[in-house]
Structure 1
Amino acid sequence: MNLTVIGAGYVGLVTGTCFAEMGNKVYCVDVDEDKINNLKKGIIPIYEPHLATMVIDNQAKNNLFFTTDLKEALDNTNIIFIAVGTPQNAGGSVNLSFVYDVAKQIAGIISKDSLIVTKSTVPVGTGFEIKKIINENKINDVNIEIASNPEFLKEGVAIEDCMRPDRVIIGTEDEKSAEILKELYRPFVSNHDRFIFMDVKSAEMTKYVANAMLATKISFMNEIANICECTGANIQSVRLGIGSDKRIGYKFIYAGCGYGGSCFPKDIKGLINTSVEKGYIPKILSMVDEVNEVQKMVIIDKITSKFGNDLSNLTFAVWGLSFKPQTDDVRNAPSITIIGELLKRGTKIRAYDPKAIESFKREIDDENITFTKSKYDALDDADALILITEWKEFRSLDLDELSKRLNQKIIFDGRNIYSKRIEEEGFELFQIGC
Structure 2
Amino acid sequence: MRVAVIGTGYVGLVSGACFADFGHTVTCIDKSTNKIDLLNDGKVPIYEPGLDQIIEKNAAEQRLFFSTDPSAAVRMADAVFIAVGTPTRRGDGHADLTYVYEAAREIASLLDGFTVVVTKSTVPVGTGDEVEKIIRETNPNANVAVVSNPEFLREGAAIEDFKRPDRVVVGTDNAEAVEVIRELYRPLFLNETPILISKRRTAELIKYAANAFLAVKITFINEIADLCEKLDANVQEVARGMGLDNRIGSKFLHAGPGYGGSCFPKDTLALAKTAETVDSELKIVNSVIEVNAARKMKMARKVIDFMGGDVSGKTVAILGLAFKPNTDDMRDAPSIDIINGLEKAGAKIRAYDPASMNEASELMKHVMYCDGPYHAIENADVVVIVTEWDQFRALDLDRVKRLAKEPKMLDLRNIYQKSYMEKEGFIYESIGRAY
TM category, shorter? over 0.9
Alignment TM-score, normalising by the size of structure 1: 0.97
Aligned twin of 1:430: 429
Aligned twin of 2:26: 26
Q: Please give the per-residue CA displacement for 1:397-433, whole angstroms capped at 9, x wherever unaligned.
A: 3221111011111111111111112112321111111
Query: Distance in 1 between the 2:137 and 2:382 partners?
Result: 61
Query: Distance in 2 between the 1:89 and 1:155 partners?
Result: 23
Q: Which amino acid aligns with 1:70?
A: P
Aligned twin of 1:133: 134
Q: Please give the per-residue CA displacement for 1:97-125, whole angstroms capped at 9, x wherever unaligned.
A: 00011111122222332111100000011
Aligned twin of 2:409: 411
| Pair 1:378 & 2:376 matched | yes
Equivalent positions of 1:159-178 (< 5 A) are: 159-178=159-178
Query: Distance in 1 between the 2:136 and 2:314 partners?
Result: 62
Query: Distance in 2 between the 1:232 and 1:158 partners?
Result: 38
How far did 1:193 drift? 4.0
| Cα RMSD (Å) | 1.2
Aligned twin of 2:246: 246
How far did 1:77 drift? 1.3
Query: Distance in 2 between the 1:191 and 1:229 partners?
Result: 43
Q: Please give the per-residue CA displacement for 1:140-193, whole angstroms capped at 9, x wherever unaligned.
A: 622111111000100001011111111111111211111110111011232314
How far did 1:76 drift? 2.0
Q: Is the 8 A contact 1:257 1:295 kept in 2?
A: yes
Aligned twin of 1:343: 343
Structure 1 stretch displaced more, 304-313 or 122-131 = 304-313
SS of the residue 2:185 aligns to: helix
| Pair 1:394 & 2:388 matched | no
Task: Give the total of aligned pairs.
Answer: 431
Q: Is the 8 A contact 1:302 1:430 kept in 2?
A: no
Q: Please give the per-residue CA displacement for 1:297-351, whole angstroms capped at 9, x wherever unaligned.
A: 3332222223355422100111000100110111100001101111112211111
Q: Is the 8 A contact 1:165 1:189 kept in 2?
A: no
Q: Is the 8 A contact 1:123 1:205 kept in 2?
A: yes
| Pair 1:195 & 2:195 matched | yes
Query: Distance in 2 between the 1:144 and 1:374 partners?
Result: 52
Equivalent positions of 1:6-405 (< 5 A) are: 6-90=6-90, 91-138=92-139, 141-366=141-366, 369-405=367-403
How far did 1:294 drift? 1.6
Q: Is the 8 A contact 2:166 2:193 kept in 1?
A: no
Unaligned stretches of 5+ in structure 2? none
Q: Please give the per-residue CA displacement for 1:38-78, whole angstroms capped at 9, x wherever unaligned.
A: 10111111010111111111111110110010112112213
Query: Distance in 2 between the 1:231 and 1:163 partners?
Result: 43
Q: Which amino acid aligns with 1:389?
A: T
Alignment TM-score, normalising by the size of structure 2: 0.97
SS of the residue 1:296 aligns to: helix
Query: Distance in 2 between the 1:178 and 1:106 partners?
Result: 20
SS of the residue 1:354 aligns to: coil
Query: Distance in 1 between the 2:184 and 2:407 partners?
Result: 56
SS of the residue 2:196 aligns to: strand
Q: Please give the per-residue CA displacement for 1:179-215, whole angstroms capped at 9, x wherever unaligned.
A: 1101110112323142111110110000001101111
Pair 429,280 (structure 1): closer, same or farther in 2 beyond 3 Å: same
Q: Which amino acid aligns with 2:127?
A: T
Query: Distance in 1 between the 2:342 and 2:189 partners?
Result: 48
SS of the residue 1:47 aligns to: coil
Unaligned stretches of 5+ in structure 1? none
Pair 405,130 (structure 1): closer, same or farther in 2 beyond 3 Å: same
SS of the residue 1:26 aligns to: strand
SS of the residue 1:362 aligns to: helix
SS of the residue 1:297 aligns to: helix
